[in-house]
Amino acid sequence: MYNSRISGLGFYVPENVVTNDDLSKVMDTNDEWIQERTGIKERRHVVKGTDTTTSMGVKAAQKAIERAGIAKEEIDFIVFATLSPDYYFPGPGVLVQRDLGLDTVGALDIRNQCSGFVYGISVADQYIKSGMYKNVLVIGSELHSHGLDMTTRGRGVSVIFGDGAGAAVLTREEDSSKGILSTHLHSEGQHAEELSLIAPGMGKRWVTDIIEDNDPEDTSYFPYMNGQFVFKNAVVRFSEVIMEGLQKNALSPQNIDMLIPHQANLRISQFIQKKFGLGDDQVFNNIMKYGNTTAASIPIALTEAWEEGKIKEGDLVVLAAFGSGFTWGSVIIRW
């Protein structure tokens, strides 16, 4: 059986910086309130008419492919994770295939929100391990800003999210001691509505219902989050799935060189760091600059950590995510 390794990384964020003070001009909030609850200082928002979820993903992918040292024609398959596609259908995977000018390679869309990139890495890893593909492009990209309730009514959610994209190329590796050692995926759908966007959806409210009612007070097409409930579940599931991955590989928290958690809330990351007894140099956080970019958060953070020289050959790198669904997962990597 083959193994897979991450051979190239890249990320892209829009130039438009939105600070907490900027948000205080359109809703009843302030910098202290946001930082205290989330750790976020600023985020990036796409200026309308410029980037899309797909175009950001393409820009991140181009960097990852270049850094992998391969021609784009060597990509065998595309996995695209997002909750904010350009279209309701088709998904952005095929749009990336088109915009990168790839022949007729397969493209798979993943809808696992904050856990999307971890799920995507797991899928790509299995394709490579089976021998089906040699180079798989995995993208996480999100354009949240155009779908948020940017008023006081929606501030509990809207201050958290930012736009951006990250990408990784997974390549076949003959050495089984290197690369992705294992992946671990879970879900608990009984809590699906605790972090969700209900409309448009066939089961609740479809586009025709929204148009017919034209109700400015209809919040079904804005994200909803039961913040405290999500936080309590996240810290438990993060810990469980990290330990599951470590134990699978006969490792302990002391073996971790770099933990890249999904950037949901700085308080969650700090809780996990303290629980596992990790130093500041063993956990990478950038939510302060970008907010929660959902499926893009781990590849953006992973790329930045690598660019800054904080991940070196031979390091044990752990990726972990928890999000809407509820879904969660981890990836254990020997770099």
| Angle, in degrees to the nearest 10, between helices 31-38 and 266-276 | 30
Distances in whole angstroms, Cα of residue 265 to Cα of each of 5, 178, 226, 273, 296: 28, 31, 14, 13, 14
Q: Please give the pLDDT value at position 33.
A: 95
Instruction: Say which amino acid occupies 98.
Output: R
Mean pLDDT of 3-10: 97
Per the annotation, the verdict on 262 as an active-site residue is yes
Q: Please give the pLDDT value at position 219.
A: 86
Q: Residue 1 pLDDT more than 80? A: no
Per the annotation, the verdict on 146 as an active-site residue is no
Report which DSSP code applies to 131. T
Phi and psi dihedrals of 149, rounded to 5? -85, 95
pTM of the model: 0.95
Print burial letters for 56-83: b (CB count within 10 Å at least 16), e (below 16). Answer: bbbbbbbbbbebbebeeeebbbbbbbbb
| Residue of 165, 185, 98 whose CA lies nearest to 299 | 165
Mean pLDDT of 42-53: 97
List the catalytic residue out of 20, 112, 262, 285: 262
Q: What is the pLDDT of residues 212-256, one digit of tens each?
A: 888 888 888 788 999 899 989 999 999 999 999 999 999 999 999
Percent of the chain with pLDDT over 90: 88
List the catalytic residue out of 3, 20, 112, 114: 114
Q: What domains lie within the chain, and their CATH numbers? A: 3-176 (3.40.47.10), 180-334 (3.40.47.10)
Per the CB < 8 A criterion, the answer to whether 135 and 76 are in contact is yes
Distances in whole angstroms, Cα of residue 89 to Cα of each of 59, 60, 163, 233: 21, 22, 20, 31
Q: Please give the pLDDT value at position 150.
A: 94
CB-count burial class (<10 Å; 0-12, 13-18, 19+) for 101: exposed
What is the end-to-end Cα distance of the chain in Å, rounded?
A: 19
Q: Residue 205 pLDDT more than 80? A: no
**Run of H or E including 142:** strand 135-142
Distances in whole angstroms, Cα of residue 214 to Cα of each of 147, 204, 227, 293: 16, 16, 28, 29
Q: What is the pLDDT of residues 254-278, one digit of tens each?
A: 999 999 999 999 999 999 999 999 9
Q: Residue 207 pLDDT more than 80? A: no
Helix (H, G, I), strand (E, B) or coil at 69: coil
Per the annotation, the verdict on 144 as an active-site residue is no
